[in-house]
Amino acid sequence: MIKVITTIEEMKKIIKDEKAQGKSIGFVPTMGYLHDGHISLVKRAKAENDVVVVSIFVNPTQFGVNEDYDVYPRDLEGDKARSEEGGAQYIFHPTVEEMYPYGYQTFVEVFGITDKLCGASRPGHFRGVTTVVNKLFQIVSPHKAYFGLKDAQQVAVIEKMVRDLNIEIEVVPCPIVRESDGLAMSSRNVNLSETDRQSALVLSKSLFKAKEAIEAGIQDAKAIYLIIEKNISEEVSVHIDYIKIVDFDTLEDVTVIEGRVLIALAAKVGKVRLIDNIIMEA
Neighbouring residues of 97: CB distance < 8 A, sequence distance ≥ 6: none
Restricting to residues 117-156, name those near ligand AMP by CB under 6 A.
147-148, 150-151
* Least spacing, CB of residue 152 vs ligand AMP, in Å: 8
Residue 177 host element (H or E): none
Q: What's the Cα-to-Cα distance from 4 to each of 89, 91, 248, 270, rounded to whole Å?
A: 9, 5, 36, 35
Question: Binders of ligand AMP: how many residues, by CB under 6 A?
Answer: 17
Nearer to ligand AMP, 113 or 174 (CB): 174
Restricting to residues 61-90, name those near ligand AMP by CB under 6 A.
none
* Catalytically active residues, by annotation: 38
Residue whose C-alpha is closest to residue 50's, from 4, 19, 7: 19
Q: Which of the 8 DSSP states describes residue 181?
A: T
User: Which one of the spans 132-140, 182-190, 209-217, 235-243 is the region binding ligand AMP (CB under 6 A)?
Assistant: 182-190
Neighbouring residues of 138: CB distance < 8 A, sequence distance ≥ 6: none
Rule CB under 6 A: say whether 204 interacts with ligand AMP: no
Q: What is the DSSP string of 201-245?
A: HHHHHHHHHHHHHHHTT--BHHHHHHHHHHHHHTSTTEEEEEEEE
Restricting to residues 247-276, name those near ligand AMP by CB under 6 A.
none
The span from the CA of 173 to the CA of 5, in Å, is 25
Restricting to residues 34-63, name those near ligand AMP by CB under 6 A.
37-38, 40-41
Nearer to ligand AMP, 61 or 187 (CB): 187
User: Which one of the spans 30-38, 71-79, 160-168, 194-202 is the region binding ligand AMP (CB under 6 A)?
Assistant: 30-38
Q: Which residue is nearest to ligand AMP (CB)?
A: 148
Query: ∠ CA(232), CA(123), CA(238), 5° rounding?
Result: 15
Interface ranges with ligand AMP (CB under 6 A): 30-31, 37-38, 40-41, 147-148, 150-151, 174, 176-177, 184-187
